[in-house]
Structure 1
Amino acid sequence: MRFLDALFGKKKRPTLLEDLATARDWIAEALIFSGYQADHTLESLREIDRFFEEQSGPGGLLSQQRGQRLFGLGAYIGDVLIRTYGGHWVTDDQDPQGELNVAVQLDNGSMVWPVQRAMKRYQNGPDDGIYLYGAALGSHGAHAQNQGSK
């Protein structure tokens, strides 16, 4: 099939893993352009919280292309967690809700759902802060995440 697809110019749809990398890079660039520090460190998750505070209202950047931006923010958050604690993305390209259900399995065995967390941060405000979420994973909070808390 791949030979015929190549022969007839049929393009392969990117995998979720490829989409995550593209979205992560896109949102990091956009954040930097907009004056936010997006250096993929745990500390940069404070900037993600600041972005949510400043851009969630009417006329803010999250008032447009919200789905794409939340997916990108989730991809960025997941990347920071992987870089900080070790781990890898868990994706299912067959899942119709795959963009929402992408997860990160950390090296300690914990599973976290960064895109869902970005959506919760947008919906619930600072009570679902991103920095505290990420920082807690470095301590005993990782055990709670492993118990099914998304």
Structure 2
Amino acid sequence: MITRRFFGLLAAGFLPSRAASQTTSAPRRLQEDIPIAAQWISNALQSSDYGADFSPQSISEVERFFREQTKDGEPISDGLMAQDIGSRLFALGSYCGEVLRKELGGHWLTNDDDPEGEINAALEVGSGVTCWPMQRAMKRLRSSEDDLVAWAEGIRRG
């Protein structure tokens, strides 16, 4: 059995019910983890005054979060990205993907047997365009030129 990790970090503690599900029944699938992670980061962002309400324009709030919480491709020390970066990148990618999925329709393409399934999870939107939101979140961390708003607009245009 593969023990999944979020970008190299054990998931225990990130998703509260995850550890319990692994000891009492089969582990949750990525298809289940993605919306849970998206809701978790939405709540966390909203508690820090970011408008993460799953509306199409809320991706600009995630972009603002990256601008304010990172510098030169790294989280700012003592900022909101300073801890559990892997889990937070997974959740931010999940959030952006869920915004697009809710707006455009579509479904997640996941592989629970892939040890890097969290990174490789893809979203196919209703128009048939496929994107990789978790990889996009990782790229955004490394470079402010990988603007999430422009990326989302490109997906919307198909």
The TM-score range, normalised by the shorter chain, is: 0.7 to 0.9
User: Where does the alignment leave 5 or more consecutive residues of structure 1 unmatched?
Assistant: 1-8, 143-150
Report if the CA contact (8 A) 1:42-1:135 is conserved. Answer: no
| Residue of structure 2 aligned with 1:24, choices 38, 42, 49 | 38
Q: CA RMSD in A?
A: 1.1
Q: How does 1:126-141 map to 2 (within 5 A)?
A: 127-139=145-157
Q: How does 1:71-90 map to 2 (within 5 A)?
A: 71-90=90-109
Deviates more, 1:10-19 or 1:46-55: 10-19
Which amino acid in structure 2 is aligned with residue 138 of structure 1? R
Which amino acid in structure 2 is aligned with residue 135 of structure 1? E
Report if the CA contact (8 A) 1:42-1:131 is conserved. Answer: no
**C-alpha displacement at 1:34, in angstroms?**
0.6
1:53 partnered with 2:71: no
Report if the CA contact (8 A) 1:17-1:91 is conserved. Answer: yes
1:96 partnered with 2:108: no
**C-alpha displacement at 1:116, in angstroms?**
0.3
| Regions of 4+ moved over 2 Å | none
Distance, in Å, in 2 between the alignment partners of 1:71 and 1:10 is 25
1:86-107 deviation digits (Å, cap 9, x = unpaired): 1111100001110000000011
**C-alpha displacement at 1:58, in angstroms?**
2.0
Identity of aligned residues (%): 41
Which amino acid in structure 1 is aligned with residue 81 of structure 2? L
Distance, in Å, in 1 between the alignment partners of 2:156 and 2:68 is 27
Distance, in Å, in 2 between the alignment partners of 1:133 and 1:31 is 20
**C-alpha displacement at 1:10, in angstroms?**
3.6
1:11 partnered with 2:25: yes
- Structure with greater proportional helix content: 1
For these two proteins, the number of residue pairs brought into alignment is 131
Which amino acid in structure 2 is aligned with residue 59 of structure 1? D
Name the TM-score, length of structure 1 as normaliser: 0.84
